Amino acid sequence: MLRTILLGPPGAGKGTQAVKIVEKYHIPHISTGDIFRENIKKGTELGKKAQEYMNRGELVPDDLVIDIATTRLLEDDCKNGFLLDGFPRTVYQAEKLDAFLAANGMKLDKVIDIAVEKEELITRLTGRRVCKGCGASYHIVNIPSKQEGICDTCGGELFQRADDNVETVTNRIEVYNNQTMPLVDYYEKAGVIVHVDGAESLDNVFNAIVDALGE
């Protein structure tokens, strides 16, 4: 049983670490950003509502997100735990999540706060490439695919996310600092937070996370 949250600014490596964490602990990876992007791809009403916010690097309104996340958490595969990535992102979302967990007899085990400084975040995000097929993340310099533009695992085409340009990235970091940072304090007070240096290599960050979560 492991109920955990990945907290950290855009580009901290949440999605990258999530892939490794869910493989080790056999829990589902729930990324609200991924859910929105799937909905945009499918052209759903939700996707249409979310898209304008995402393209500006703003947060999608709380009520929309909370509903989606809590509905997902009620699915069967979350019975033995879950890894939340990118949710909650405001104190209001965190309070609603707490209320939902309490009402369902669940408790958070750990919140992992991955910290990386701003310049590095911008470099990571503007150089990120994502696989159209399996969603794997690469970086043109840090973590390049073997063949340019092609995913190592599934052979899918790599693309750049619509919100990974310098202007939107800068706004996303600003939005994180203003609206999401207060969660560090929130979970500090709850006594569940652990801090991890996200500037380290992929493997070092993962090892620090495993140390925090336990084997």
Contacting positions for Zn ion (CB under 5 A): 131, 133-134, 136, 151, 153-154, 156
Q: Is 189 designated active site? A: no
Looking at residues 147 to 186 of the shown chain, list those that interact with ligand AP5 (rule: CB under 6 A): 172
Torsion over CA: 161, 150, 83, 187 (sign): negative
Nearest-approach distance from CB 112 to ligand AP5, in angstroms: 11
Nearest-approach distance from CB 28 to Zn ion, in angstroms: 19
Identify which of residues 3 and 89 has a Cβ nearer to ligand AP5 in the complex. 89
Distance of alpha carbon 116 from alpha carbon 95, whole angstroms: 25
**Choosing among ligand AP5, Mg ion, Zn ion, none, which partner's interface includes residue 60 (Cβ < 5 to 8 Å by kind)?**
ligand AP5
Is 29 a binding residue for ligand AP5 by CB under 6 A? The answer is: no
Whose tokens are 């408790």? That residue is: 107
Q: Are 130 and 161 in contact (CB under 8 A)?
A: yes
Give me the DSSP letters along 25-56.
H---EEEHHHHHHHHHHHT-HHHHHHHHHHHH
Looking at residues 55 to 94 of the shown chain, list those that interact with ligand AP5 (rule: CB under 6 A): 57-60, 65, 86-89, 93
Beta strands in 96-190 (DSSP E): 110-115, 128-131, 137-139, 158-159
Nearest to 20 by CA among 203, 214, 212, 213: 203
Q: Is 3 designated active site? A: no
Nearest-approach distance from CB 136 to Zn ion, in angstroms: 5
Identify which of residues 50 and 106 has a Cβ nearer to ligand AP5 in the complex. 50
| Residues classed as catalytic | 14, 89, 128, 161, 172
